[in-house]
Structure 1
């Protein structure tokens, strides 16, 4: 809601809204290069033409730091909603899709385009109120970038403008008070996940990831084909054959079997899919082509 937005941020939004062409939220992201914008309207981050990442930034969570610099705290906890409570399976998948794209821009050393949005309900009720709708959405003319990414604290810091600034601790406390990043829960100590648990989590993560994009992801690991998941489109065309490997603290390495290496030599559409922090809330994945397999961190020598 407008009353929750910093006045300086709201002034920029209002100026952009009043001086620009009147467009719907879907038209705005379509003009920014999002393909099938109407079908992707429910998402809050998109991969646009030219591999540009676009992300919604809720204006209520934008904080003005030292020197007038804008920044935004991004929660890396996909399980918990803004304002508290557990996310639904659909909300979890949407949050993971967003983090995948943000991490993609970070890994590539690229900036991202921001869409500043205000909402018709209190920001802390955004994910729990089914009647929540966009109030205002405008594209920000300035580029943003990911300044820090901290899986331990389940938090990333996004900064507007040049890459020569970070918020102070006082700035961070003010941003946390806005509530975009839940406090990291104190969990009872537990032993590391077993190799079987890590692999099962990696399989589950990738199956849900591709299903979230409308593809069929079939578990074929029991058939010893040299890959674990076959991804196909709605017409049944095979798009990817994924040899899945999960990693986690205490289980950071993996091996490829002879069958997997033989399948890799046959080329496309085989890929090595490595899921890091597979059992955790910040799971991420990366695909490696056959020629790139030996570059995958954690790969151990071939099994006998």
Structure 2
């Protein structure tokens, strides 16, 4: 709601809203290069043309720091809502989709495009109030970037404008107090997990991840093919063959089998997929091409 937005941020939103062409929330992201914008209207981050990531930033959570620099705290806890309580399975998947795109931007060292949004209900009720609708959505003309990504704190910091600036600790604490990052709640195993548990969690994570994008993710781990998940499109064409490895408490390294290394040598579409924090709320993954596998953190060297 407007009354929850910093006056400096609200002034920019109002200027954009009053001087720009009137567009619907779907029109805005479509004009920014999002393909099938209407079908993706319920998402809150998108991959646009040019491999550009666009993310909704709730204006209620945009903070203004020293020198007028804007920043935004992004929760890396996909399991819990801003206003408290656990998310539904659909809400969890949407949160994971958003973080996957933000992490993609971070890993590529690319800037973000943002749409600033205010809502018709109090921000804490956004995910629980069925009547919640967008009040205002405007594209921000300035680029944003991910300044820090801290899984241990379950928080990332997004900054508007040039790189090289970070909010102070006091500014971060004030932003936390506004509620964009839920209090950390520990879930899952309290001690070391078995390798089998971590691997099962990594498989489940990747299967749900690709299914969330409309792909078929088939578990073929028991067939000794040199990969564990085969990802295909709606027409049945194979897109990826993933050798899946997970890390988590007590499981910080992994090996590639002879079949996996042989399959890697055959090249595309084989990939090594490493899921970190596989059992935790901040699980994320990275894919490695066959010529990149030696760069994968946790890979044990091949024994002679």
TM over 0.5: yes
Find the aligned partners of 1:280 and 1:187 in 2 and give their Cα distance: 7
Structure 1 consecutive aligned stretches of length 4 or more whose deviation exceeds 6 Å: none
1:57 counterpart SS class: strand
1:267-282 to 2 correspondences below 5 Å: 267-282=267-282
1:180 aligned onto 2:180: yes
RMSD of aligned alpha carbons = 1.6
Task: Give the superposition deviation at 1:189.
Answer: 8.5
TM-score normalised per structure 1: 0.96
Equivalent residue number for residue 136 of structure 1:
136
Equivalent residue number for residue 288 of structure 2:
288
Equivalent residue number for residue 13 of structure 2:
13
Equivalent residue number for residue 111 of structure 1:
111
Deviations 1:224-266 (A, max 9, x none): 1111111111122221111101112432211111111112222
Equivalent residue number for residue 42 of structure 1:
42
Task: Give the superposition deviation at 1:303.
Answer: 6.7
Task: Give the superposition deviation at 1:163.
Answer: 1.6
Task: Give the superposition deviation at 1:188.
Answer: 10
**Would you say the 8 A contact 1:258–1:302 is kept in 2?**
no
When residues 289 and 49 of structure 1 are mapped into structure 2, their CA distance, relative to the original with a 3 A threshold, is same
2:96 counterpart SS class: helix
TM-score normalised per structure 2: 0.96
Equivalent residue number for residue 56 of structure 1:
56
Unaligned runs of 5+ in 2: none
Find the aligned partners of 2:285 and 2:152 in 1 and give their Cα distance: 18
Task: Give the superposition deviation at 1:23.
Answer: 0.9
When residues 220 and 58 of structure 1 are mapped into structure 2, their CA distance, relative to the original with a 3 A threshold, is same
1:1-304 to 2 correspondences below 5 Å: 1-185=1-185, 190-302=190-302
Unaligned runs of 5+ in 1: none
Between the two proteins, the alignment pairs up a number of residues equal to 304
